[in-house]
């Protein structure tokens, strides 16, 4: 119930294309869904996050789509650039109580070809 399943494991996209990464969760108590971007040798950096009271959140080229009934959420990167090449992790947490820890998905390695 604590798992977050992420797919695909790896993704290759041409420059200018749309990158789509999907995640699914089981625990309906989760109320915070962030996406992290990690470059080699660096710690993860928060990219964008959403709460279950909205179905979509957009920040620049990055959009989270959230489907509460399906318990799924996805990251869309529009106009993908070579500089977006990194590993992306989705995560989920329950923000209240004493178990508010982030559960990470398995990660997606994105390569954007010039």
Structure tokens, 96? 């209240």
34 in contact with other proteins (CB under 8 A): yes
Q: Decide if residue 42 touches other proteins (CB under 8 A).
A: yes
CB burial string 32-44: b at 16+ within 10 A, e below: bbbbbbbeeeeeb
Shortest Å, Cβ 39 to other proteins? 10
Q: In this complex, which beta carbon is closest to other proteins, that of residue 18 or of residue 46?
A: 46
* Tokens matching residue 34: 């962030």
Which residue among 5, 18, 26, 46 contacts other proteins (CB under 8 A)?
46
Determine how β-strand 108-113 pairs with β-strand 10-14.
parallel
Total residues found in the chain within this entry: 114
Q: Is 102 near other proteins (CB under 8 A)?
A: yes
By beta-carbon proximity to other proteins, the closer residue of 9 and 69 is 9
100 near other proteins, judged by CB under 8 A: yes
Question: For the chain, how are helix, strand and coil distributed in percent, rounded to 5?
Answer: 5, 55, 40
List contacts with other proteins (CB under 8 A). Answer: 32, 34, 36, 41-46, 49, 89, 93-102, 104-107, 109
């Amino acid at each position: 119930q604590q798992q977050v399943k992420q797919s695909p494991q790896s993704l290759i996209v041409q420059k200018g294309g749309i990158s789509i990464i999907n995640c699914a969760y089981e625990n309906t108590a989760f109320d915070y869904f962030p996406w992290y971007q990690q470059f080699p040798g660096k710690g993860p950096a928060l990219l964008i996050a959403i709460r279950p009271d909205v179905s979509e959140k957009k920040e620049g080229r990055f959009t989270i789509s959230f489907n509460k009934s399906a318990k799924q959420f996805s990251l869309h990167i529009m106009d993908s650039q070579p500089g977006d090449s990194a590993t992306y992790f989705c995560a989920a947490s329950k923000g209240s109580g004493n178990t508010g820890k982030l559960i990470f998905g398995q990660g997606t390695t994105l390569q954007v070809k010039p």
